[in-house]
Amino acid sequence: MTETEHSTKTKRAELDPVKDEWGAQPDDNFGYASEEERRANRGLEDWEMLDQMSDSQPGIFAWFHTVAGSVVAGVIVFVIVAYAIYYFTYNYGSILFKNW
């Protein structure tokens, strides 16, 4: 075992276990001097972002679903029409266009 592997294993053993608790604010501000410094350098935690979100925030999903649905429906209709044209011209083209 090299010196680096040994020192890494001993350092990991010396660390305190991290206790993950949703919505819990540690007393040490995640290693920063103050709450303001933590927010300036690190940003909000996941649970803080969820707590600050308003239930009345307008969503973009209504128009996004409309646009995405229209595109998907348009592609499906295009494929069906293209296949129908191909099918009829391949199978009945000689009958339909024999006088042309």
What is the full DSSP assignment across 64-93? Answer: HHHHHHHHHHHHHHHHHHHHHHHHHHHHHH
Residues spanned by the domain of 85: 58-100
One domain for residues 10 and 23: yes
One domain for residues 64 and 45: no
One domain for residues 51 and 82: no
In percent, the amount of the chain with pLDDT more than 70 equals: 66
One domain for residues 46 and 63: no
Integer Cα distance of 82 and 5 in angstroms: 64
One domain for residues 18 and 29: yes
One domain for residues 4 and 36: yes
Average pLDDT for 82-89: 94
For the stretch 54-65, pLDDT in tens is 777 666 678 888
Average pLDDT for 38-50: 77
Q: For residue 9, is pLDDT > 70? A: no
Confidence of residue 76 (pLDDT cuts 50, 70, 90): very high
pTM for the model? 0.39
φ/ψ of 15, rounded to 5, equals: -70, 145
Give the long-range contacts of residues 19-25, CB within 8 A, separation 24 or more: 22/47, 23/47, 23/51
One domain for residues 2 and 50: yes
